[in-house]
Amino acid sequence: MSDAPPPENNLILRQLAEIRRENRETQERQARVIELLGRTNQKIDDLVARMERGLSEVRSDIVLLENKALSAITDVARVVARMDEQEMTP
């Protein structure tokens, strides 16, 4: 009835137990890799968001600087025009 050999005495059962153990280890490694990939992905998303905010600030700064430069050019042109008018008036 219960004369079956214990699992450690049966080659197939030992091999099956080893396969199950290796499968558990593989699944644990895969779970750790998936977790690591998730954390890495979050870090990359955060970095990209920071870079996009920084780039947006740089673009705003460029527009402000361009406006300042145009204002300065306009001011210089007005001064030159006034100087020309003063030179033309006797």
What pLDDT digit, counting tens, does each position of 16-74 carry? Answer: 999 999 999 999 999 999 999 999 999 999 999 999 999 999 999 999 999 999 999 99
DSSP output for 26-49: HHHHHHHHHHHHHHHHHHHHHHHH
Task: Please state, in angstroms and rounded to a whole number, the distance separating the CA atoms of residues 76 and 78.
Answer: 5
- Indicate the SS3 state at residue 60: helix
DSSP state of 1: -
Q: Give the pLDDT band of residue 3 (cuts 50, 70, 90).
A: low
Nearest to 39, CA basis, from 31, 24, 28, 53: 31
What is the pTM for the complete model shown?
0.57
pLDDT score recorded for residue 30: 98
pLDDT score recorded for residue 1: 47
> Taking CA 11 as the corner, what is the angle to CA 6 and CA 15, rounded to the nearest 5 degrees?
105
